[in-house]
Structure 1
Amino acid sequence: MKGVKSTLLQSTTILVLAALASPAYGQVDEIVVTAQKREQSIRDVPISLQVVSGDDIKNQQISGAEDLADSMPNVFVSKDSVSNNIYVRGVGSGANAGYEQAVATFVDGVYHGRSRYSQSTLVDVERIEVLRGPQTIYFGNNAIGGAFSVTTKQPSLDQWEGYGLASYEFVGNEPAVEAAVGGPVIQDKLGIRVAGRYSHLQGYIKNTISGDKNPDVEDRFIRFSSLLKISDNWRASFKAEYGKQDSTAPFALQLIDCPPAAPFSPSTTFSCAYALATDQEADFDYRRASGPGERGDIEASEFLFKIERDNFDGPGIVAQASYSKQDFLLSADSDNVPAEFFSYNTLENLDQKTMEFRVTSPADSKLEWMVGAYYLDSDVRIDTTLNFPFSTVLLTGPLDVLAPYAPLSGDIQLDQQEKAFSAFGSLTFPFTERLSGTIGLRYTRSKKTGVQSATNATANDPFGFSVTPLPTALQPVAALLTGFNEHTTAATVKDDDFLPSISLRYEPIDDVSFYAKFSEGFKAGGFDAVELTGIPDRLSFAPETVKAYEIGMKSLLLDRTLSFNLSLFRSDYKDLQQSVAQFTATSAFITVTNVGALRTQGLEADMLWRPNDRFQLGGNIAILDAKYKDYPNGGCTVLQAYEATEAGETGCAQDLTGKSPPFAPNYSGNVKVGYNLPISNALKLSTDVMYSFSGAYDVIGDKDPRTRQGAWQKIDARLSLTDIDDTWSLSLIGKNLTNEKVLGSANDVVASAGSYSAQIMRGRTVAVQARFNF
């Protein structure tokens, strides 16, 4: 690694000297964002945010939120079992399918609260804005930790344009094609645009049993959009999109720490004992061993209609309505060995309807104001089955009455309906030409009704897609083994809150501004999708709230060739919704609780220097101090649970007060260098390199030291041959060239104490790409 760092430093020095010797003049591009629901320069928005353009998304082969994380300090995205991990500044929702995410995603203003949306392909995108910290005033529904705001490309009304892209990644044997075309059907009146993408990742983890590579993921996506100019002021747009992902072993787990450390013994366990008996390796690497049948399917569609009036000669108006549907299925062999010891499946169906209406002040108004209303109506059904084939050998003595019903499983279902309403507004008052203040207020109300049930059953297939409930008389007996108490529980959760925000912005000189902001955030309560006990009070959890403080500076310096932004923040969360996986000798379940308090504070800075049109040097860094302030009842590690049992204690909890939450490293960041060189009157050669890094952090809530991710460093690089007008390009793209092994998630292995299921994130990739613009 020292050699790599030295080479990177030498290369950067050479490029800087070349840039200083170049006479060409350059400037930092003006970036327009919609973080406050209207178009503004990024320097006028009192928020810590980063923006990735559509061109950068294509050039860097970014296909989902996971690909964005390395280039954005304090942002982490990775796959997990029943839901994905999405964290910003150490704030996220953990693994429970009943959660909406604390870091919400919005695509063209449409709320995507379920974590699986983070796997959606980013196709034909204008830009992605990643907003750090609470965003509840303008984005509302549950964006208490941050927001990903995606803006897709709109049709042109005056010319036909588009692009085509084809690439092949060698390590994962992944071909991808993407294209978009659009233009006027009626000149200056009606335009349409069609975009699509196909890719097929054929795996980067070797399954030593089947000989195949996992995960095998086939993605298809298509979008149609239209834009109608009704008059000089009024426009209407429509968007319809459909995506489908079919995969084998999408959550490719592997067994690690086998044999386990003392006091655990592999001779008394299932998965680890089997692995040792069959000489299965258990290192954290790009190998795994698992039987057939693992799969994952995502099918999603969305429709959006919007009508808007610009505010050039009167108030601006936006009215939009959307309908979204998503179906998700996952089956996983989580015992991490070919034998059938433990597996699960989960199915999730979502139907969502939203409406939003906004009115903004005229462009020439001295006071900038906005008022609006938002409505959401959603239905979610979640069905999870845990299968316990290993327990068949335990069906003796008092449990022998269950033997005819083996293999046992536990089936859990949640049907939830939500209706949410918000009203919001903001007012910006210019005290002087250089000092302005903004106040905002949002009222939000949510009502959720849910019916949740659990039952012990017989699994009719290895993954429990079909189950037969056990007779009622045998349910209590089975519960002794599985932990599932047969029940059906109904509940209603009603939450509402007023959320204020106030900010000041001061611009002492042109292109340099300072801001200070205070805001409150709110995330509605809900239901535990995998509650096993049937105790009514355990089904629902309370809303979480936050008070957030931020001060910062945004600037363009050195004749607008240098951009430098800095923010200092503190956010105090109360009743933070947290989930922790708990494992017994024969079962696995996830408990949900409200953490008393969490404080996350730190510094974020970014810089971009573009002294000429050939060279640029940039960097981002984040310093984070995130600590629980009141969390006395955290879930136990497997060792703590063992020690409690040995001591004859009933139950187990640990005090995590003063400890850090998952995905909260003390530091993270990157350095980026880019250079382009004309090599003839028609061609130019360009290259860019990014060195990204992170400190150590935990990946699960119980802070088991055996699953802690150490500090890591990665290097990405791109070399492109392009024509002078950027009409076409041929590129060689490498990511994670250091092949860092990064842990995306981990959990204890059921009935194999001291060993763990680990998910490794994608390692080194090398791809070639061709792109053509017209």
Structure 2
Amino acid sequence: MRSATKLLLLSVASGAMMAHVVPAMAQVEEIVVTAQKREQSMREVPISMVALKGEDLQEKQVAGIEDLAKSLPNVFVAKDTVSSNIYIRGVGSGANAGFEQAVATFVDGVYHGRSRYSQSTIVDVERIEVLRGPQTIYFGNNAIGGAFSVTTARPDLDELTGYALASYEFVGNEPVLEAAVSAPVVPGTLAIRLAGRYSDLGGYIRNEGSGQRNPKVEDKFLRFSALWQMAPDWSATIKAEYGKQDSTAPFATQLTNCPAPAPFDPATTFSCAYALATNQETDLDFRRASMAGERGDTEASEYVLKIERDNSDGIGIVALGSFSKHDFMLTADTDGVIADFFSFNTAENLKQTTAELRFTSPKSSKLQYIFGGYYLHSKSNVGTTLNFPFANVLLTGPLAALQPYAPLSGALHLNQKETALSAFGAVTYPFTDQLSLTVGLRYTNSKKDGAQSGTNAHANDPFGVSTTPLPAALQPLAQILTGFADHRTRASVNNDDFLPSATLQYKFSSDLSVYAKFSEGFKAGGFDAVELTGIADRLTYAPETVNAFEIGLKSLLFDRTVSFNLAMFLSKYKDLQQSVTEITPTSAFISVTNVGGLRTQGVEMELNWQPSRRFNAGVNLAYLDSYYKDYANAGCTAAQSVEASQQGVSVCVQDLSGESPPFAPRWAGNVHASYNHPISDTLEFNADASLAFSGSYNVNADKDPLTQQKAWQLLDLRLGIGDIDGKWQLAFVGKNLTNEKIVGSATDVVASPGSFAKTVERGRTLAVQMRYKLN
């Protein structure tokens, strides 16, 4: 890794020397954002945030939120079993299909609360804003840990615009085609835009069982939008989009820690024993083994209508309505071997309708204000089935009555409806030209009705997509093995809260300001989609709240050639909603509990230097101190469960008070530099290099030392040559050039204590890219 670091530092130093030979006429680019629902320069917004332009994301081959997160300190996104892990500042919801994420995604103002709901959002975007910390006032739902705010490109009323991009990535054998075109139908009045993307990932992990490569993912996406300028101040935008993703083995896990270390029994069983008997390697690398038939399918559509009155000479009005539909299905083999010992499937169907109406003060008004109302209604159905073929050999003696129903499975289902209403407002009063105070308040109410069921069943296919429930008389007997109680449970959750916020901002000049901010946050309670026991009190969990404090500085220095932003934060979470893994000798399942408290505090720094039009360099750095204040009922690690069983303890818990949550490294950051140089009257050379790094962290909530991710560094490099006016460009894009192995998730392997099924994130990628702009 030292050689990679030296390479990056050398490129920065070389670029700095070259920069001295050209006039220092450049300034750090200012990006206009809408983090407070009005257009502002990013340096004017009193929020710790990062904004990235869509064109930059295209050039760097950023295809999804997971890819984006690797370059952002204090931000982590990784796939897990029934949902993804999304964390900012050590705050996230973990893996449970019933969760709305604590870190929410909004696309053109529309809430995407499910982690699988936003896999194809980075297509033809104008920018992405990553907002750290609770976003209470300006966003519609549940953004208690932070938010990704995606703004897609709008149709151009005056000109024919667009682009085409084609690339091929050699390691994963992935072609990508992306294009967009915007055309004025009636110049100045009506315009349309069409954008689409197609990719076909061949896989970057070799499956030793099938001889194929996993995951194989074919992704198709199409968006149509139209803009109608109804009057000088009034406009209407409609948007319709559709995405479909078909994949083989999208959740491609690998068997690791086999044989397991002490205190586990060296006489390994099932998966680990099979791997040892067949000489299957179990190192964390880009190789795995599984049975055939793993699939993943995602289909999503969304329709949006936005009517807007500009506030340039009067009150601004925005009326936004949306309807979304999302279907997801996954079948996965997580025992880590070719033999069929354990597998699962999960499916989700979601329909969501939202509406928002807001009013903003005229731009010329001394008193700036925004107020409005928000409505959300959703219906979701979540099904999960765990399959236990390994238990076939245990169906003897008292359990012999279950033999005709082998292989056994446990089937769970949650049907949920939610209606959420909120009213919000914020007022900014300027005491002087330099000092201003913003106070805000949001009232939110969420009502959810849920019906959840579980049963022991016979799996009619290898992944239990179709099951037949066992006779009632055999349910208690099957429960001994699976842990599933046959049950039907109903519950309602009704939560509301008033959420105040206050921000004091002082501007020393147009280029230097400081702020201090307080806000409260709220995330509604809900239902545990994979509750096994049927105990009514275990189905629901309570709301999560936070008191958050932040002070910050935003500045442009040295004739605006340097931008320097600094934020220090402290957030105190109460009743944090946390997934808890519970392990038994024959099963491993996830439940939900409320943690007594979480305290997260730290510092985030961003420095960018633009000494010339040809050279740019920057550093992003984050320090995080995050720990549980009161978490005495955490799930046990596999080793603790074994020890508890040996001591005759039926329910194993551990105290994690004072321990850090998952995905919370002490240090994280990146260093980046870019350089461009004309090589003729018509051609220009471009080079970009970045080094992202992170300290160690755990990927599991139970803090198992066997699931600790070591510190990592990712080196990315882009070299391009193209038209000096930016009309076209041909580039090489290399990411994770040192081929770092980063664990995205780790799941206990059922019936092989101490072994884990781990996902390894994509390694080195080497791609060529061609981009063409219409104008």
**Is the contact made by 2:120 and 2:221 (CA closer than 8 Å) also made in structure 1?**
no
Distance 1:159 1:18 in 2: 37
Deviates more, 1:642-651 or 1:93-102: 642-651
Distance 1:162 1:438 in 2: 39
Q: Aligned-pair distance for 1:23? A: 2.0
Q: Aligned-pair distance for 1:585? A: 1.1
Distance 2:384 2:773 in 1: 46
Alignment of 1:584-663 (within 5 A): 584-663=584-663
Secondary structure of the 2:709 match is coil
Q: State the partner residue of 1:723.
A: 723
**Is the contact made by 1:50 and 1:131 (CA closer than 8 Å) also made in structure 2?**
yes
**Is the contact made by 1:438 and 1:503 (CA closer than 8 Å) also made in structure 2?**
yes
Match for 2:747: what amino acid? N
Q: State the partner residue of 2:735.
A: 735
Does the alignment pair 1:144 with 2:144? yes
Distance 2:336 2:584 in 1: 17
Alignment of 1:549-560 (within 5 A): 549-560=549-560
Distance 2:126 2:335 in 1: 43
Distance 1:8 1:773 in 2: 30
After superposition, give the CA deviation of every residue in 1:512-532 in whole Å (9 maximum; x if it has no partner): 000000000000000000000
**Is the contact made by 1:623 and 1:666 (CA closer than 8 Å) also made in structure 2?**
yes
Does the alignment pair 1:89 with 2:121? no
Distance 2:487 2:120 in 1: 35
**Is the contact made by 1:302 and 1:322 (CA closer than 8 Å) also made in structure 2?**
yes
Q: Aligned-pair distance for 1:314? A: 1.1
Q: State the partner residue of 1:540.
A: 540
Q: Aligned-pair distance for 1:181? A: 0.3
Does the alignment pair 1:466 with 2:447? no
Distance 1:672 1:368 in 2: 37
**Is the contact made by 2:28 and 2:561 (CA closer than 8 Å) also made in structure 1?**
yes
Q: State the partner residue of 1:681.
A: 681
Alignment of 1:25-104 (within 5 A): 25-104=25-104
Alignment of 1:740-751 (within 5 A): 740-751=740-751
Q: Aligned-pair distance for 1:589? A: 1.1
**Is the contact made by 1:258 and 1:266 (CA closer than 8 Å) also made in structure 2?**
no
Does the alignment pair 1:489 with 2:489? yes
**Is the contact made by 2:360 and 2:370 (CA closer than 8 Å) also made in structure 1?**
yes
Alignment of 1:103-502 (within 5 A): 103-265=103-265, 267-502=267-502
Secondary structure of the 1:72 match is coil
TM-score by length of 1: 0.99
- Quickly say closer, same or farther: Cα 1:147–1:461, change in 2 above 3 A: same
After superposition, give the CA deviation of every residue in 1:77-121 in whole Å (9 maximum; x if it has no partner): 010000000000000000000000000000000000001024224
Secondary structure of the 2:644 match is helix
Secondary structure of the 2:634 match is coil
Distance 1:187 1:745 in 2: 51
- The number of aligned residues is 774
**Is the contact made by 1:194 and 1:223 (CA closer than 8 Å) also made in structure 2?**
yes
Match for 1:276: what amino acid? L
Match for 1:354: what amino acid? T
Secondary structure of the 2:381 match is strand
Distance 2:367 2:689 in 1: 44
Q: Aligned-pair distance for 1:509? A: 2.1
Q: Aligned-pair distance for 1:233? A: 0.7
Q: State the partner residue of 1:759.
A: 759
Distance 2:230 2:644 in 1: 70
Q: State the partner residue of 2:9.
A: 9
Secondary structure of the 1:264 match is coil
Distance 1:303 1:10 in 2: 49
TM-score by length of 2: 0.99
Secondary structure of the 2:693 match is strand
Secondary structure of the 1:522 match is strand
Secondary structure of the 1:267 match is coil
**Is the contact made by 1:305 and 1:320 (CA closer than 8 Å) also made in structure 2?**
yes
Q: Aligned-pair distance for 1:732? A: 0.2
Distance 2:268 2:518 in 1: 55
Secondary structure of the 2:390 match is helix
After superposition, give the CA deviation of every residue in 1:438-491 in whole Å (9 maximum; x if it has no partner): 000000000000000000000000000110000011111111111000000000
Distance 1:340 1:266 in 2: 22
Q: Aligned-pair distance for 1:266? A: 5.1
Deviates more, 1:259-268 or 1:147-156: 259-268
Secondary structure of the 2:635 match is coil
Distance 2:659 2:118 in 1: 28
Distance 2:28 2:10 in 1: 25
**Is the contact made by 1:26 and 1:612 (CA closer than 8 Å) also made in structure 2?**
yes
**Is the contact made by 1:266 and 1:272 (CA closer than 8 Å) also made in structure 2?**
no
Q: Aligned-pair distance for 1:573? A: 0.1
**Is the contact made by 1:121 and 1:221 (CA closer than 8 Å) also made in structure 2?**
no
**Is the contact made by 2:460 and 2:468 (CA closer than 8 Å) also made in structure 1?**
yes
**Is the contact made by 2:8 and 2:690 (CA closer than 8 Å) also made in structure 1?**
no
Distance 1:436 1:268 in 2: 66
Q: Aligned-pair distance for 1:24? A: 4.6
**Is the contact made by 1:548 and 1:569 (CA closer than 8 Å) also made in structure 2?**
yes
After superposition, give the CA deviation of every residue in 1:10-40 in whole Å (9 maximum; x if it has no partner): 2221211111232251111121000001111
**Is the contact made by 1:580 and 1:700 (CA closer than 8 Å) also made in structure 2?**
no
Q: State the partner residue of 2:705.
A: 705
Secondary structure of the 2:92 match is coil
Deviates more, 1:437-446 or 1:114-123: 114-123
Match for 1:378: what amino acid? S
Q: Aligned-pair distance for 1:547? A: 0.3
Distance 2:331 2:483 in 1: 21
Secondary structure of the 2:7 match is helix
Distance 1:274 1:541 in 2: 39
Distance 2:210 2:268 in 1: 27
Q: Aligned-pair distance for 1:6? A: 2.1
Secondary structure of the 2:285 match is coil
**Is the contact made by 2:190 and 2:227 (CA closer than 8 Å) also made in structure 1?**
yes
Secondary structure of the 1:273 match is helix
Secondary structure of the 2:36 match is coil
Distance 2:106 2:731 in 1: 31
The sequence identity of aligned pairs, in percent, is 65
Distance 2:188 2:138 in 1: 32
**Is the contact made by 1:259 and 1:265 (CA closer than 8 Å) also made in structure 2?**
no
Distance 1:681 1:558 in 2: 31
Distance 2:108 2:453 in 1: 36
Distance 1:770 1:206 in 2: 28
**Is the contact made by 1:342 and 1:387 (CA closer than 8 Å) also made in structure 2?**
yes
Distance 1:386 1:266 in 2: 26
Coordinate RMSD, CA, aligned? 0.8
Does the alignment pair 1:578 with 2:578? yes
Q: Aligned-pair distance for 1:268? A: 4.2
